[in-house]
Amino acid sequence: MSRSYLSLGSNLGNREENLTHAIRMLEDVEQIRVEKTSSIYQTEPVGYSNQPDFLNMVVRIDTELSPEQLLDETQKIESELGRVRALRFGPRTMDVDIILFENEKRKDEKLTIPHPRMWERAFVMIPLLEIFENTSNEVFECETVRLYSDIHSGSNRGKLSEKPENK
Ligand code: AMP
């Protein structure tokens, strides 16, 4: 059984209903158990800004699927909920990203885990930290992600100095 975190976002149609629908569809997959859900956040679109605000949330699941099988299932949910891929960062009924999958680290043409843009996206990090913070035995994971987030956001917290040269 693997623990994974998914980011859900919607900015077309009935956004809240789309999120609820996606969670129901995840629960309908035999090998997926939805363990926790964050609050829903309304956020400004990133990238292509001339589009409606998004509703975003993060869910924690336990799954017997492999990362590839999980991607197949999340893509099925995206297409069943009518996602139109006209613009890469454009409006969408449902976007599901795999944020973390156990301690998996990979980068291939189909799948990058942890999700490569999670660190710079408040709409991912804030609901993710909300789930971590409500679960005391995830303090370590929480601190690790917070540190990564500081480093990747370019803030001067987290990383004290560049690696000394010639060391
Ligand atoms: P996007 O349109 O930004 O949702 O990107 C979808 C594409 O990103 C899909 O074709 C996936 O194969 C690829 N992808 C790479 N890493 C991930 C990930 N961690 N979660 C979801 N999709 C991913």
Would you say the CB of residue 107 lies under 6 angstroms from ligand 1?
no
Nearest C-alpha neighbor of 121 from the set 139, 141, 103, 95: 95
Peptide bond preceding 114: is omega within 30 degrees of 0, i.e. cis?
yes
Q: What is the CATH class of 2-162?
A: alpha beta
Task: Point out the catalytic residue in the list 15, 60, 83, 121.
Answer: 83
Give domain limits for the chain: 2-162
Low-confidence ranges of the chain (pLDDT < 50): 157-159, 167
Would you say the CB of residue 110 lies under 6 angstroms from ligand 1?
yes
Q: What pLDDT sits at residue 159?
A: 46
Phi first, then psi, for residue 56 (nearest 5°) are: -130, 150
Please answer whether residues 145 and 125 qualify as being in contact, where contact means their C-beta atoms are separated by less than 8 angstroms: yes
Question: Looking at ligand 1, which atom is closest to the CA of residue 98?
Answer: 20
Q: What is the pTM of this model?
A: 0.82
Ligand 1 pocket test target in 112, 117, 123 with most atoms within 8 Å of CB: 112
Write out the H or E segment, with its range, that includes residue 80. Answer: helix 67-80
Q: What pLDDT sits at residue 130?
A: 87
Q: What pLDDT sits at residue 166?
A: 55
Q: What pLDDT sits at residue 155?
A: 55
- Angstrom distances, CA of residue 152 to CA of 90, 136, 139, 158, 159: 24, 25, 20, 9, 10
